[in-house]
Structure 1
Amino acid sequence: MARPHPSRRILMIAYHFPPLTGSSGIQRTLQFVRHLPEFGWEPIVLTVHPRAYPNTSPDLLRDIPAHVPVIRAQAFDSARHFALAGRYPACLARPDRWISWLPAALHRGRQLIRTYRPRIIWSTYPIATAHAIGYRLHRASGLPWIADFRDPMAHEGYPEDPATWAAFKRIEEQVFSAAAGVSFTTPGALDFYRDRYPRYPGEPFKLIENGYAEENFAGLDEQAAAKGPLHPGRITLLHSGIVYRNERDPTHLFQALQTLRQQDLIHPDRFILRLRAHHNGDHLRTLIDRYQLQPLVELAPPLPYREALEEMLRADGLLILQAANCNQQIPAKLYEYLRARRPLLGLTDPAGDTARTLKNMGCRHLAPLDRPEQIAPTLLTLLKDMDAGIPTGPDSEVIRRYSRRQLTQTLASWLDNLSEPPETLPPP
């Protein structure tokens, strides 16, 4: 490799990166990579070979800046590449199914450190193996290391397998014994770890929430306006993204819809719920049949990223589902919903970070995900407000606060404080 000119460089270790598709976590790393150069930092990305991804699409590859080195280390998915008759050794899935990424990533990471001489290492979870790589490269190079947590790691009931839980906890303890800084996407996760590791030296905890990228919406407002509503004459409530069976179970929403239909308060010719990229199709179809909602609920397959954004803009309202077992998490999709400026229905635990964030954004139509008796009147109120043209969303200043560019500036300022010129790098 040709040796670049000295600069402030950051080695970024991330599993979720284009051409992976179907994960909102891609955007966090991708947008940091796009905006960090504006604030004086040059990223180098260490990720996996695309074969390790379950689904790929080229549509986000064009968003990677041409000047950013992207190194794809050898990696496999144990469940797909090492399984016989659907089974594979448990050791090939601890801490996760991409543990095969570790040796190649360490080899390539050392090469990158010698060649590019970055000032700092950054890794993001999930996947847990990314933090294992970050820890080892930090130990080998002496460079300061930031560990980014998009979700909490080892917590009560997760992971369910005790040996996997122990592997997660071991990596987590490595983070809090060695990292120069630890970032979180939600206040609840930050508070959780501050309580778990109260003796962690200094003040290295940082809240850097997820957000939306304004450039991803370029031209889409006009396209959506030209195409018009998704279902002219009917209000379309859209859930864009995976409907997880445990974390985003719509059973109680379906119960509420059945009750409203039986009471003649909601009509298929005036309303439809679209679940896009639903993931658990068989389970959802069973629920639709059980509650006799065939005219009211529509299941739709995934869309390319920009098409999904355009669909949000064309929807009449947008739906957030988040169970109480995810109270320290916020769906990354929420921030793109925010930018879409559509009315929001939030079905989530009032005590969780998702509900608090929605309230802070000015969203009023909230109900617990597991309370159909509260979901029904909340949905009716939203529909009435929409019919009456009553504003139901946040103002422009709140929306701008969550732009990825502004959040990247927060990261860059933190990097300035945490990084020092390298003095202990291995020889080139």
Structure 2
Amino acid sequence: MSSVPGSRRWLVLSYFSRIDGMACAQHIDDRIPLLRKAGIEPVLLTGPCGDRWEGIRHSVARSVAPSGIRFELRHLFRKRGRRGPLVKALEFLILLPVLPFYLLEKILADLDSQWSWFPFASRRGYALCREARPDLIYSTGGPASAHIAAGMIARRTGIPWVAEFQDPLVHGGWRRGQAALKLFSLAERYVCARASHVVFLTEEARRRAAARTSLGDRGRCIYPGAAPLPELPPRRRDDALLRFAHFGSFGGSRNPAVLLEAARRLLEDRPELAGTLRFDFYGHGDANSARRLREFPVPGVVTFHGRVPRREALAGMREADVLVLVQNIDDFSAETIPSKVYEYLVAGRPILGLIHRNAELAGVLAGQGHTVAEAADAGVVRDAVSEIHRRWETGTLGTPAGSPYTVASAVERLIAVAESRDPA
């Protein structure tokens, strides 16, 4: 491992890294090259699920609880790419002894499968601090275990620590049970009390955490942004069709029901639009969502592509005229901005955002000239689709300006926060 003379060194803890298609892994993966470019040498500590980084010091720690062991073994089998009957039988036999303990763990507290990563991670991280002598500890997640491990390391070493919550640990619409809520609340209070700075991905998440904890003025909001999309073949434009495209998974209250109902109402009022309107859906859909998409009453208007390789999804994004965002219809949506938003913004296409009670996200989209509608109101969404169609028909749909929300700007702000010794 080469080291740049005079560079700063950070110990970076993230359970997930180098896992294709996983947002919390992509979050840190996009930042590592930019940290190095800024003269920071990352010393990376992750879970065992992703591929190893080359050219930097990268260590791995494993989980100790049954849920973590089960998760990591299953991920190992999937990573090898062999899913035949014999492999599945072998996986079942290997995991069978863990099953009773896994069920007992879930009965006691329904935590995420990575919660028990912190014992070995804190031990390995402390050893890395003695070997590499980092100037700062940076934990990001995703799983709360990265922050707990970082806090334990920081307490033993006295090294400044910046924690970054990619999603709120505690939020409205909680579904995991009271035992899990108490434990995650305890973890949140621990991080907010001990970290030098705590980074949130929305201002609303920062505000709510500050109201629950002793965070004070050490919280910061940094919008994570997105990296530029890779070069793709030129667009095969069909001016006779207005294509709306949604990318991402559906499940629970985040589903296509309201958008499909809006489209149905519009086509009922103006059946001639069936010749020009198209809705393409890329990504996994639960059984109810898939059924709704396949049973849309007007033939040829809705296409459900399912899961596709990332390059194919990016090509579909380029072919679309309008990118569609659908938020969950629950309180959690009020304090989160999906990472897909930033990818949409750098794609340079108009966006139709079905937003649920999130003025911050609505402001981000509207501020860049995009269309926002209430995610739970089919009538409002119908009017938004109709207005977009009118603008497309008259040639005034336009191409949005470049996005100011980039990974590079986020990393620049992160470094500024990390190297500030006084709360701003």
Give 1:297's aligned residue: 302
Q: TM-score, normalised by structure 2?
A: 0.84
Query: CA offsets, 1:340-367, max 9 Å, x none?
Result: 111111111354322121112221x221
1:67 partner letter: G
Classify the secondary structure of the residue corresponding to 1:261: helix
2:22 partner letter: S
Farther off after superposition, 143-152 or 173-182: 143-152
What does 1:250-261 correspond to in 2, within 5 Å?
250-261=256-267
Distance 1:314-1:2 versus aligned 2 partners, 3 A rule: closer
In the alignment, structure 1 residue 274 sits paired with structure 2 residue 289: no
Aligned with residue 248 of structure 2, among 241, 252, 257: 241
In the alignment, structure 1 residue 14 sits paired with structure 2 residue 14: yes
Classify the secondary structure of the residue corresponding to 1:153: coil
Query: CA offsets, 1:274-317, max 9 Å, x none?
Result: 2211331x111332366525532222233333443332122121
Q: Distance in 1 between matches of 2:410 and 2:198?
A: 15
Q: Distance in 2 between matches of 1:180 and 1:245?
A: 37
In the alignment, structure 1 residue 207 sits paired with structure 2 residue 221: yes
Give 1:47's aligned residue: 46
Give 1:422's aligned residue: none
Distance 1:232-1:16 versus aligned 2 partners, 3 A rule: farther
Q: Distance in 2 between matches of 1:114 and 1:158?
A: 39
Give 2:289's aligned residue: 284
2:15 partner letter: Y
Q: Distance in 1 between matches of 2:274 and 2:15?
A: 42
The 8 Å contact of residues 344 and 393 in structure 1, kept in 2 or not, is answered as no
Q: Could you tell me how far 1:87 is from its partner in structure 2?
A: 4.1
Distance 1:86-1:35 versus aligned 2 partners, 3 A rule: same
Distance 1:265-1:118 versus aligned 2 partners, 3 A rule: farther
Aligned with residue 146 of structure 2, among 117, 120, 130: 130
In the alignment, structure 1 residue 72 sits paired with structure 2 residue 66: no
In the alignment, structure 1 residue 169 sits paired with structure 2 residue 157: no
The 8 Å contact of residues 199 and 222 in structure 2, kept in 1 or not, is answered as yes
Classify the secondary structure of the residue corresponding to 1:407: helix
Q: Distance in 1 between matches of 2:334 and 2:347?
A: 24
In the alignment, structure 1 residue 338 sits paired with structure 2 residue 345: yes
Distance 1:210-1:244 versus aligned 2 partners, 3 A rule: farther
Aligned with residue 415 of structure 1, among 391, 413, 418: 418
Query: CA offsets, 1:113-144, max 9 Å, x none?
Result: 11111111111232121112111111222211
Unpaired runs of 5+ in structure 2? 75-94
Q: Distance in 2 between matches of 1:175 and 1:352?
A: 27
Q: Distance in 2 between matches of 1:85 and 1:73?
A: 21
Classify the secondary structure of the residue corresponding to 2:115: coil
What does 1:123-202 correspond to in 2, within 5 Å?
123-197=139-213, 199-201=214-216
Q: Distance in 2 between matches of 1:237 and 1:86?
A: 43
Q: Distance in 2 between matches of 1:270 and 1:86?
A: 52
Classify the secondary structure of the residue corresponding to 1:327: helix
1:43 partner letter: P
1:374 partner letter: V
Q: Could you tell me how far 1:172 is from its partner in structure 2?
A: 0.4
Distance 1:335-1:100 versus aligned 2 partners, 3 A rule: same
Q: Could you tell me how far 1:408 is from its partner in structure 2?
A: 0.8
The 8 Å contact of residues 367 and 374 in structure 1, kept in 2 or not, is answered as yes
Classify the secondary structure of the residue corresponding to 1:83: helix
Q: Could you tell me how far 1:405 is from its partner in structure 2?
A: 1.0
The 8 Å contact of residues 324 and 348 in structure 1, kept in 2 or not, is answered as no
In the alignment, structure 1 residue 318 sits paired with structure 2 residue 330: no
Q: Distance in 2 between matches of 1:21 and 1:294?
A: 34
1:200 partner letter: L
Distance 1:12-1:33 versus aligned 2 partners, 3 A rule: same
Give 2:376's aligned residue: 370
Aligned with residue 329 of structure 1, among 328, 331, 336: 336
Classify the secondary structure of the residue corresponding to 2:23: coil
Q: Distance in 2 between matches of 1:178 and 1:13?
A: 16
Q: Distance in 1 between matches of 2:257 and 2:212?
A: 34
Unpaired runs of 5+ in structure 1? 51-55, 420-428
Q: Distance in 2 between matches of 1:357 and 1:168?
A: 29
Q: Could you tell me how far 1:272 is from its partner in structure 2?
A: 2.1
Greater RCO, CA 8 A, separation 6+: 1
The 8 Å contact of residues 78 and 98 in structure 1, kept in 2 or not, is answered as no
- The Cα RMSD (Å) is 2.8
Q: Could you tell me how far 1:36 is from its partner in structure 2?
A: 1.1
Farther off after superposition, 315-324 or 5-14: 5-14
Distance 1:395-1:6 versus aligned 2 partners, 3 A rule: closer
Q: Could you tell me how far 1:184 is from its partner in structure 2?
A: 0.9
Distance 1:94-1:256 versus aligned 2 partners, 3 A rule: closer
Identical aligned pairs, as a percentage? 25
Q: Could you tell me how far 1:185 is from its partner in structure 2?
A: 0.8
Classify the secondary structure of the residue corresponding to 2:145: helix
Distance 1:285-1:85 versus aligned 2 partners, 3 A rule: farther
Farther off after superposition, 267-276 or 253-262: 267-276
